[in-house]
Amino acid sequence: MRLDVVTIFPEYLDPLDVSLVGKARARGRLDVHVHDLRRWTYDRHHTVDDTPYGGGPGMVMKTEPWGDALDEVIAAGYEAGARGPALVVPTPSGRPFTQEVAVELSQRPWLLFTPARYEGIDRRVVDEYATRMPVYEVSIGDYVLAGGEAAVLVITEAVARLLPGVLGNAESHRDDSFAPGAMANLLEGPVYTKPPVWRGHDVPDVLLSGHHGRIARWRRDEALRRTALNRPDLVERCDPAAFDRKDRETLSLLGWASEPDGRFWRRPRTVEE
């Protein structure tokens, strides 16, 4: 997979040299090119932004540097043999970036990222490139960043680990919390390793018991408990048929009530709770 990133802070992408993404590059699975947007400015101040039409706060990134940069970066990619580019634009007003989107992006051969500072990029830039390639406007969460660079790091890491040959067997993504499958909508439970006692904290006995059935049951209970507490929205989205008798008991203990159709909803907490 080829990745191009056009940014006014190329150093912000230095972490792409290390860890899993760095390994993917070293193994030849990922070909990363970071470009300084200011290379495509021609005035003394290397201006990349201007005041918004219609007034209002902040600055808007200008069309011309982005257009010239993307044209050249796209041409260079094709020259190097890359095909099938897609534009990825991190923005708080984008489609939520989920594991599903990560899988979709991991199946593309070439991603072009345009992280923006200020109040975003002049809309015409996205409109122009949308005539030539798929455009993914994505948000990595409901919070505000100073710019899209951190989002590029997040998206790249989520995508790179899905590429064939990047993760070893030990770290395989079969059981990812958000991977499709039976436990699709449950978060992972807690994990433990040696020593069995640390500062007076014991590893739960069941994990040392060697009873695989009981261990699986305990893990499922813990996963459901955590999900119900931290992500009630995921529990509500679950297919009620996916819950067994013990799951229902766990949810009931946590204050969840069940509908006649088996669907669970969270009983509103009383003041004492």
Q: For residue 125, state whether it binds ligand 97T (rule: CB under 6 A).
A: no
Secondary-structure breakdown of the chain: helix, strand, coil percentages, each rounded to the nearest 5? 40, 20, 45
Would you call 202 a catalytic residue per the annotation? Answer: no
Q: For residue 101, state whether it binds ligand 97T (rule: CB under 6 A).
A: no
- d(CA 10, CA 36) in angstroms, rounded, equals 6
Cα torsion 162, 93, 95, 229: sign: positive
Would you call 92 a catalytic residue per the annotation? Answer: yes
Binding mask 105-124 for ligand 97T (x = CB under 6 A): -----------x--------
**Stretch of residues binding ligand 97T (CB under 6 A), selected from 15-23, 32-40, 142-150, 232-240:** 142-150
Q: For residue 47, state whether it binds ligand 97T (rule: CB under 6 A).
A: no
Would you call 132 a catalytic residue per the annotation? Answer: no
Nearer to ligand 97T, 124 or 267 (CB): 124
Pick the binder of ligand 97T from 99, 139, 177, 258 (CB under 6 A): 139
Nearer to ligand 97T, 30 or 152 (CB): 152
Q: What is the DSSP string of 89-147?
A: EEEEEEEE--HHHHHHHHTSSEEEE----TT-B-HHHHHHHTTTS-EEEEESSSS--SS
Binding mask 145-164 for ligand 97T (x = CB under 6 A): x-xx--x-------------
Please tell me the number of Cα atoms within 13 Å of 158 on its side-chain side.
Answer: 20
Phi, psi of 164 (to 5 degrees): -60, 135
**Stretch of residues binding ligand 97T (CB under 6 A), selected from 7-15, 84-92, 102-110, 158-166:** 84-92
- d(CA 105, CA 219) in angstroms, rounded, equals 31
Q: For residue 60, state whether it binds ligand 97T (rule: CB under 6 A).
A: no
The residue to which tokens 């204050």 are assigned:
255
The 10 Å Cβ neighbour count of residue 201 is 8
Would you call 176 a catalytic residue per the annotation? Answer: yes
CB of 167 to ligand 97T, least distance (A): 25
Q: For residue 3, state whether it binds ligand 97T (rule: CB under 6 A).
A: no
Q: Please choose, from the candidates 63, 87, 84, 103, the residue with its C-alpha nearest in 3D space to the C-alpha of residue 137.
A: 87
Question: How many residues can be counted in the chain?
Answer: 273
Nearer to ligand 97T, 117 or 161 (CB): 117
Pick the binder of ligand 97T from 43, 45, 55, 144 (CB under 6 A): 144
- Name the 3-class secondary structure at 39: helix
Catalytic-role residue among 64, 68, 137, 176: 176
Is residue 31 within a helix (H) or strand (E), and if so which, with residue range? strand 31-36
Inter-residue contact 102 to 147 (CB < 8 Å)? no
Residues engaged in binding ligand 97T (CB under 6 A) = 90-92, 116, 139-141, 144-145, 147-148, 151
Residues known to be catalytic? 92, 119, 161, 176
